[in-house]
Amino acid sequence: MKNKDYLLFARDTRAIVYGMQENAVQRMLDFDYLCRRERPSVAAIVNPTRGGWHQCFFGRGEILIPLYRTLKQTVEKHPDADVLVNFSSFRSAYPTTMEALETDTLRTIAVIAEGVPEKYSKELAILAKKKNKWVIGPATVGGIAAGAFRIGNTAGALDNIIESNLYRPGHVAYVSKSGGLSNEMNSILALNTDGVFEGIAIGGDRYPGSTFIDHLLRYEANPEIKMMVLLGEVGGTNEYEVVEALKTGKITKPLVAWCIGTCSKVFPAEVQFGHAGARAGHDRETADAKNRALREAGAIVPRSFEDFDQKIRVTFDRLVAEGKVIPAPEVVPPLIPQDYPEASKAGRVRRSAHFICTISDDRGEEPTYGGVQISEVIEKALSIGDVISILWFRKLLPKWATNFIELIIRLSADHGPAVSGAHNAIVASRAGKDLISSWASGLLTIGPRFGGAIDDAARFFKKACDSGQSPEAFVEEMKQRGITIPGIGHRIKSLDNPDKRVELLKNYSYQNFPRRKYLDFALEVEKVTTQKRNTLILNVDGCIGVTFLDLLNACGVFSPQEIEEMVEIGYLNATFALGRSIGLIGHIFDQKRLNAGLYRHPWDDILYLEERAEKI
């Protein structure tokens, strides 16, 4: 090998990840930061379903990694990336890897998928050799170059990586079949040598894209690697290529080797050990036979796996004693911030809430309203008024009070198409706006001249009544201040033509409320104002405002301070807004049916609207 062809991964290696594997990408970036790389190893992600950007962490900060729909587009945008980490499924792993092998800029492809047909695996291996490229896998966890580059999820959790000293290079390289056992190799080498330089898991399939000998010859050519380790297994004959290389002198560096699965001989019949290739078809493929052949060819082979670490330690210590290895100095890796969900689950962090909610909670098995589970709301047949009282006031009010809330909503649901809210909703709907836009257009008109007088009426009447002011003095004061009394006056209704809604609210109050302090005061004020003009009556906004004050006082569950806060915040207008929403949505549906021509005589409704507008 020349021009450092033996080196697949370095500290500046850049990779493309095929498939939206967010966790694997983050683990690669965490390893980069642990190794103090200047640039992230992940250049881009191929995500066939969407393009854009993927937000992730690089150490303490956040970065954006570009997403592309096709591999062709990705390699054109990122020609510096020469590794593809292919997370395609076993169905699409073959065509995506073939496309990668035909791409000039990609040199190494790690195929993670299991179950790739053997025919396809052979084709991938042949094409890779022909083009002087590398395929790691299929059915691999990948590989790792300590202090430089990590393929996907190789080496497991960060704690394991730190304990195995993989954040800086050692002088030992290994190749294994199993990805799981490669984690064991990282740990063994960290305990018995100065650590890993590079480790590759070629995958457990019978016909991997690259074999033991392919990687061992790379290690042989790399002057930074001083000894090698091979961890094979029962099944297949790839180990015999290593035997031949030892015999012919192609491998001269110390090689500690072991093939697991020697226990297979105690079984009465042929046994497969997990991997597709971990099955001995004849004696030559047994672990015992391969271990024997490796030992005879000059490899350092222990008596059992239990002695494996000892052979590695003795071999490494000998190299150090001979001056062939100067152990790598230890460095302190940077601290990787723990992701908040993991830290929170482990009870290691706490933080203030971004917002606070005291009326509902969806963190349990079922949501709750004011501590009442949804199932209980249904089982107890709580009414709309009950639910409103829980969510608005955080208390379940008496039945007479919640029934009154529902009465307000029913009475304020609609007041014809000519009032400002309905008119705006109709215009927006006729203009083709969607439901929410049309509804918001109408709802935004609620204010002092349309529905909003409820809050103002409650404020002014409450202040006057609580201060002991007489109705006459209240009217005179408002006149002197130049303020129209909120909740007093109507365009059409009068003493002679009363508003039926006001009558219904008053009747309910007299029949059900324990006390009616504010309503009585407002009616006395009405007697004063109607002396001037008989249309200056207590209107529906004013009646809702004062009766709701009576409701809050008569319930016996609110303190004077709580009532004062609710009036100042604007609780009372909510009843009008909720009720009027029902009517507004009805008008919107009505107009959408008109737009669609679903009425026999649609212009009748529009004429009615025009006539009402002229009257007003």
Task: Encode burial over 161-199: b for 16+ CB neighbours within 10 A, e otherwise.
Answer: beebbbbbbbbbbbbbbbbebbbbbbbbbbebbbbbbbb
Domains of the chain: total? 3
Is residue 472 located within the same domain as residue 539? yes
Nearest to 74 by CA among 123, 139, 16, 155: 16
Structure tokens of 139?
């059915």
157 occurs within a structural domain: yes
Check if the beta carbon of residue 272 is closer than 8 Å to that of residue 315.
Answer: no
Could you tell me the residue range of the domain that residue 220 belongs to? 15-321
> Which of the listed residues 281, 304, 321 is the one where a domain comes to its end?
321
Is residue 442 located within the same domain as residue 314? no
Check if the beta carbon of residue 425 is closer than 8 Å to that of residue 440.
Answer: no
6 occurs within a structural domain: no
Is residue 44 located within the same domain as residue 65? yes
- Measured CA angle at 224 (ends 220, 229), to 5 deg: 50
- Measured CA angle at 59 (ends 54, 65), to 5 deg: 20
pLDDT at site 275: 47
345 occurs within a structural domain: no
- Give the phi and the psi of residue 258 in degrees, each rounded to 5: -155, 135
209 occurs within a structural domain: yes
* Sheet containing strand 108-111, strands side by side: 52-58, 61-68, 42-46, 15-18, 83-86, 108-111, 134-136
Question: Which residues form the catalytic set?
Answer: 275
The pLDDT tens digits for 221-269 are 999 999 999 999 988 899 999 999 999 999 999 999 999 988 655 555 5
Instruction: State the CB neighbour count (10 A cutoff) for residue 520.
Output: 15
Residues 6+ apart with CB under 8 A from 588: 425, 426, 428, 429, 435, 438, 439, 442
Would you give the distance in Å from CA 434 to the centre of its chain?
A: 29
pLDDT at site 452: 63
Would you give the distance in Å from CA 88 to the centre of its chain?
A: 22
pLDDT at site 277: 47
pTM of the model: 0.69
CATH number for the domain harbouring residue 67: 3.40.50.261
Return the bridge partners of 410, or none: none
> Which of the listed residues 321, 343, 374 is the one where a domain comes to its end?
321
Report the phi/psi class of residue 139: left, alpha or beta, with left for phi > 0 and alpha for psi in -120 to 50: left
Distance CA 470, CA 521 (A): 9
Question: Tokens 């592309």 correspond to what residue?
Answer: 68
Instruction: State the CB neighbour count (10 A cutoff) for residue 458.
Output: 31
Is residue 400 located within the same domain as residue 449? no
Instruction: State the CB neighbour count (10 A cutoff) for residue 562.
Output: 13
Q: Where are the alpha helices (DSSP H) in 222-354?
A: 238-248, 287-297, 308-321, 340-345
Distance CA 613, CA 616 (A): 5
Is residue 143 located within the same domain as residue 117? yes
Q: How many residues does the chain have?
A: 616
Instruction: State the CB neighbour count (10 A cutoff) for residue 290.
Output: 29
Q: Specify the DSSP class assigned to residue 135.
A: E
9 occurs within a structural domain: no
Q: Specify the DSSP class assigned to residue 264.
A: G
Nearest to 206 by CA among 268, 116, 327: 116
Check if the beta carbon of residue 434 is closer than 8 Å to that of residue 424.
Answer: no
- Give the phi and the psi of residue 151 in degrees, each rounded to 5: -90, 115
Residues 6+ apart with CB under 8 A from 230: 174, 175, 176, 212, 216, 239, 242, 255, 256, 257, 258, 294, 299
Distance CA 422, CA 430 (A): 12
In order, the DSSP letters of 81-94 are --EEEE---TTTHH
Is residue 79 located within the same domain as residue 168? yes
Distance CA 190, CA 327 (A): 12
Is residue 150 located within the same domain as residue 104? yes
344 occurs within a structural domain: no
> Which of the listed residues 404, 420, 441 is the one where a domain comes to its end?
404
Is residue 377 located within the same domain as residue 242? no
Is residue 358 located within the same domain as residue 229? no
336 occurs within a structural domain: no
Is residue 361 located within the same domain as residue 466? no
Task: Encode burial over 34-46: b for 16+ CB neighbours within 10 A, e otherwise.
Answer: bbebeebbbbbbb
Is residue 464 located within the same domain as residue 579? yes
Q: Which residues of the chain have pLDDT under 50?
A: 275-278, 280, 600-602, 616
Is residue 541 located within the same domain as residue 465? yes
The pLDDT tens digits for 87-145 are 999 999 999 999 999 999 999 999 999 999 999 999 999 999 999 999 999 999 999 99
Distance CA 44, CA 14 (A): 9
Distance CA 279, CA 282 (A): 9
175 occurs within a structural domain: yes
Return the bridge partners of 230, or none: 175, 257
- Give the phi and the psi of residue 142 in degrees, each rounded to 5: 120, -120
pLDDT at site 280: 47
